[in-house]
Chains A and B, each alone.
Chain A
Amino acid sequence: MNFERIREKLNILADAAKYDVSCASSGSNRTNKNKGLGNSTGMGICHSYTEDGRCISLLKILLTNYCIYDCAYCVTRKSNDIKRAAFKIQEVVDLTINFYRRNYIEGLFLSSGIFKNPDYTMERLIAVAKKLREENFNGYIHLKSIPGASDELMYEAGLYADRLSVNIEIPTVSGLKLLAPDKKHEDFTKPMLKVKNELIRYKNERKIIKSTPKYAPAGQSTQMIVGATNETDKDVMYSATYYYKKYQMKRVYYSGYVPVANDSRLPSLGSQVPMLRENRLYQTDWLLRFYGFAVNEILNDQHPNLDVDVDPKLSWALRNLHLFPVDINKADKRILARIPGLGLKSVHKILNARRFRKLNWDHLKKIGVALNRAKYFMVCDSRQWERQDLEAEKIKGLILQNSHGKFRNQYSQQLQLFN
């Protein structure tokens, strides 16, 4: 291989791909056949973490960063004056396999700028995946669906890839018009719909014919940029819910906008990445998917944005104090999961342990419940509990006083002594 050339391309094309946050390698079920290379079982592995703390599980690169579009939020937009490069198909295949053999990665995440037209680009992405599978590579492959790609190509992509994704990027249709005037909303949703329908068809056919070829076993996902337009948290989460329901997304990712351009339509270069907001959105996403919350319980017209100083579950509980305290030894699973400070693992342990004896504060502490938050919302087998009828503001104050958060300095009203 021409080492120096590959090195240069890799630097350019990995740099351009890093704004895609998805790095999941889980949820697939490809086993190693006939002494081939690799497998992808249900569990993903993060092989390393970048210095910003994000997981590195896949070799995440663009096939090329040439692009015919000019989306304001994107670093590879055609009007941006940056170095351009393109990989050959075999170069990507060799890199992936050699990284994989050294246990650096779980597989490949391949995206691309759009050159010539969407179908032409999609064909090239598929060719890489196909070549990898032909070399008996069973690792994880995540392909980007190019907005506007035809249904036939989306079908073919699913035969080789484990996961497909189209990034919706801008949560509102009006925002999309403003920032990406060349793209239409339908360009994004059409490939999603095709993948969803194929997944359903695969599931049905597989019931009858066991040998139906796999179709994108790890499903599809999408990503939204937050903080690029002036959307509210409610806009973001309502459209996330829509994509989860309508297209049966495995995941919706939220990516705090990293300023990459001087454009009057966008936050200026050097403005802070909204990491706290991103964090709160993910917490909400988890509440919706695993804790049985409905989106309108957390975000609605009275509360269009999430609290910054407390997590969304606590914030919900403070607005609904009439539902508390909950008896930890009697309440059912769904109710337990709604107590602030209790995660699903604690809930599981509590449900198991309470079959043997009534639990008290000491048990709960050892199990790992965050009592500093939870204690205001529950009673257990003990004579001591919060007897006073505290008001929501008071509880919030007490919790904030007795805890510390990693983002606290970003919103704290208090003056910093040392800075």
Chain B
Amino acid sequence: MNPSKILIYDGSFNGFLTSVFVAFEEKINVVDIQPNHQQQSGLFSETETVFTNVSKAKRVWNGVRNKSHSAISNIYFAFLSETDGVELLLFRYVQKLMPTKGQKQSDFSDETILRISQLARSVGREKHRMEAFVRFQLTKDGIYFANIEPDFNVLPLVSKHFRNRYADQQWLIYDVKRKYGIYYDLDHVELVSLNLKEIHFNKIKKSDAFLTEEYDYQTLWNDYFKSTGIKSRINRKLHTQHVPKRYWKYLSEKKETA
């Protein structure tokens, strides 16, 4: 029997794919795959640190993608959910996928496969929410700036959407929780890590980082939000179902309530 091992990787997606590659190549009996910032050793298994190798990662990516496009996107989306133990689940997913000929990724009666597709779906929902809930504020430097705090790490997934849409304005979307952002400089999008001292969410107090015109538009939007609702149909439960309260503090139309 092959040795039981816990694989430790650097927390990146490529690092995870490399671990999958190593596990397959060395026929390791994988007990767990853990990112190095939260590793936990097992009682009866040894650990092995995997060094990220882009070409190995790419081979896994291509191997899965050749099987099915939806499988590889499920893997990427589910990975970004950052759920505890998702790495092992994904590894089992790849194990189930690779040896079979059929469309195994659509076997929704298999628990692992169903779980991964559900995880991927929730990340997809969060991605879509962020495309909706980003509220840009125009700074004095002419940059459209937005803070977000998504449940999952969806910034890499939304960058294409914003690049295609706001091609003629500079913008920066900053993930407050994960402390990094994506910045578009009218040419291409890059990852930026910065430690912002001040988080600009919906305070009534105005910051001098923004133009007065910016606050005028926020007021107009806030007004519009109010006047477009129909009083005799009010349904707060449905409202919070669609716009969960955890997002309110970044939505300028919810300024008074947040």
Contact = CB atoms under 8 A, between A and B. Distances in A.
B1 interface: no
Contacts of B242: 46, 49, 53, 55
Nearest to B115: A366
B106 A353 contact: yes
Contact of A353 (B108, B137, B224): B108
A357 B234 contact: no
Contact of A37 (B133, B137, B168, B229): B168
Interface in A343-362: 349-350, 352-357, 359
A49 B107 contact: no
B107 A352 contact: yes
Contacts of B102: 355-356
Given A51-B236, A52-B233, A102 B108 contact: no
A352 B113 CA distance: 12
Interface stretch (B40-48, B59-67, B159-167): B159-167
Nearest to A37: B168
B220 A51 contact: no
B220 A102 contact: no
A102 B221 contact: yes
Nearest to B133: A47
B165 A39 contact: yes
A12 to B, nearest CB: 8
Nearest to A23: B228
B139 to A, nearest CB: 12
Contact of B217 (A18, A46, A99, A275): A99
B235 A14 contact: no
Contacts of A102: 135-138, 144, 217, 221
Nearest to B186: A35
Contact of B235 (A11, A19, A52, A98): A52
Interface residues of A, number: 58
A59 interface: yes
Nearest to A366: B114
B54 interface: no
Contacts of A18: 227-230
B167 A37 contact: yes
B168 A35 contact: yes
B221 A363 contact: no
A7 interface: yes
Given A32-B167, A56-B228, A352-B108, A45 B132 contact: yes
B204 interface: no
B219 to A, nearest CB: 7
A396 B104 CA distance: 38
A206 B213 CA distance: 44
A363 B110 CA distance: 8
Nearest to A349: B108
Given A56-B225, A102-B135, A103-B134, A49 B243 contact: yes
A52 B239 contact: yes
Nearest to B105: A352
Contact of A10 (B132, B168, B223, B237): B223
Interface string B139-158: 00000101000000000000
Given A48-B243, A50-B228, A258-B233, A36 B238 contact: no
Interface in B109-133: 109-111, 114, 128, 131-133
B87 interface: no
Given A19-B230, A102-B138, A32 B165 contact: yes
A86 interface: no
Contacts of B137: 102
Interface in A52-78: 52-56, 59-60
Contacts of A352: 103, 106-108
A366 B134 CA distance: 33
B251 interface: yes
Contact of B169 (A15, A48, A101): A101
Contact of B136 (A1, A11, A103, A367): A103
A113 interface: no
A6 interface: yes
Nearest to A35: B167
Interface string A99-132: 1011110000000000000000000000000000
A95 B58 CA distance: 46
Contact of B109 (A45, A51, A259, A363): A363
A357 to B, nearest CB: 6
A11 B238 CA distance: 24
A357 B103 CA distance: 13
A14 B230 CA distance: 11
Interface in B171-226: 186, 216-217, 219-221, 223-225
Given A45-B132, A259-B232, 20 more contacts: A1-B216, A7-B220, A7-B223, A11-B223, A37-B165, A37-B166, A39-B165, A45-B128, A46-B132, A50-B230, A51-B236, A52-B229, A52-B239, A53-B238, A60-B228, A95-B220, A101-B136, A349-B108, A352-B108, A356-B102
20 contacts: A15-B227, A32-B167, A35-B168, A37-B169, A49-B239, A49-B243, A51-B229, A51-B234, A53-B233, A53-B235, A54-B233, A55-B242, A103-B146, A103-B166, A352-B107, A353-B107, A355-B102, A356-B107, A356-B110, A363-B108
Interface of A: 1, 3, 6-7, 10-11, 14-15, 17-19, 31-32, 35-39, 45-56, 59-60, 95, 98-99, 101-104, 136, 256, 258-259, 273, 275, 349-350, 352-357, 359, 363, 366-367, 406
Interface of B: 102-104, 106-111, 114, 128, 131-138, 144, 146, 164-169, 186, 216-217, 219-221, 223-225, 227-239, 241-243, 251, 253
Enumerate the 9 nearest inter-chain pairs by beta-carbon distance, A residue then B residue, closest first.
A53-B238, A50-B229, A352-B106, A52-B233, A353-B109, A49-B242, A353-B108, A349-B108, A53-B235
